[in-house]
Amino acid sequence: MKHKVAIVGAGQGRFGVREDASQRELAFEAVAAALKDAGTTLKDVDSMVTAVAADEFSFALQPSAQMHDYLEFFPKANFRVEGACASGSMALRVGWMTVASGLADVVLVLGAEKMTEVSTSQATEIMGKGGDAIWEYPFGMTFPGFYAMVARAHMAAFGTTEEQLAMVAVKNHFYGSQNPLAHMPKEITLEKALNSFMVAYPLKLYDCSLITDGAAAVILASEERARDFAKSPVWIEGIGTATDTMRIADRDALHTLRATVEAAKKAYRLAGIGPEEVDVATVHDCFTIAEICAYEDLGFCPKGEGGAFIEDRQTYIGGKIPVNVDGGLKSKGHPVGATGVAMAVEIMKQLRGECGSRQVPGAEVGLTHNVGGSGQVVGVTIYKKD
């Protein structure tokens, strides 16, 4: 790398059913917050990368152009990056590469999605197209169906229980209730989670993430420029991306995501740390079983012990590794193109000590984990306090 890369500004709008704003207005909201955080303006930004997962939510072939036009960012460079639900992390990676290569000194990374313009059934169908276009989607495969199979495989192999799945939801709603930008900022009980209606056995309503509108943005800067901004930078120390087969039938196991394991190895190696040195993490809890698998695949606990890990409250603040203390996708929401960028926003604020009642004391190293599709692409990023 030619340059070290830092996040110097971060912003997120409120996630939820945003009938008050279009996609481009959601983007403006997040970018304005990031610029204010950095103490700068768009005039100081050299280039822009935009993450949008699906044209069908945007009703536009060039949703990124719609947004840079609304921001009046022209004529500087902007282009779209897509990696399904990992689009935000892929855009962050491209922004990081742009700065690290010396092609630009200051880059804006934006993620935005407005999913509620379509019905729930239409949104489920659109997301189902993230599976194999010949062997899965045409036969009715949906993401709740896929993760239900993951849960059943994990239960069969390791004895994971429905109660342990529900404990993930209880934790994430507990912290989401303290996040004013969350889609569903309310606590739930274990009993309520277990008694909610079945979506795809064993996954119930509170095991599933939300269909959400929202946007998030971060501003990246080179080492030479990082201290020109209003607040202390947070450094991107490790970044890893890996892939897996498109068709899930071609994988060796369902209770693990090979792409997570490989992406984590790359990120840890580049950062020069191990999982035991991570102080706070945001992981891709699109379904509660996904968070349990992430504990294991990222090395926070041994394989097969993820259920016991949440049951022992090891992922609460005060436990071994606090995870998703912003509410995660489960409570904060999952506007797919924005999710990976919003994770980076949360970690930056944690490492700067700005998270109030859900602040992880003394956090100096953070990690984000973002899954695209059913694991076809995964991004893992490691951040360090200045």
Separation of alpha carbons 301 and 303, rounded Å:
7
Q: Is 159 exposed, middle or buried (0-12, 13-18, 19+ CB in 10 A)?
A: exposed
End-to-end CA distance of the chain: 19
Compute how many other C-beta atoms are within 10 angstroms of the C-beta atom of residue 103: 14
Asked if 333 contacts 183 with a C-beta cutoff of 8 angstroms, the reply is yes
Report the run of H or E that residue 8 belongs to, with start and end.
Answer: strand 5-12
Q: HSE (CB half, 13 Å, CA atoms) of 237?
A: 22
Say which residues have a Cβ less than 8 Å from residue 308's Cβ, sequence separation at least 6. Answer: 164, 301
Q: How far apart are CA 375 and CA 383, in angstroms?
A: 22
Does residue 56 contact residue 126 with C-beta atoms inside 8 Å?
Answer: yes
Distance CA 314, CA 328 (A): 16
Q: Catalytic residue, from 68, 85, 284, 369: name it.
A: 85
Q: Which amino acid is at 254?
A: L
Nearest CA among 290, 353, 356 for reference residue 323:
290
Contacts 24+ apart (CB under 8 A), 39-44: 39/9, 39/229, 39/230, 39/231, 40/9, 40/106, 40/219, 40/229, 40/230, 42/71, 42/72, 42/73, 42/108, 44/106
Q: Is 334 a catalytic residue?
A: yes
* Catalytic one of 3, 68, 334, 369: 334
Active site residue 85: yes
Q: Which residues are catalytic?
A: 85, 334
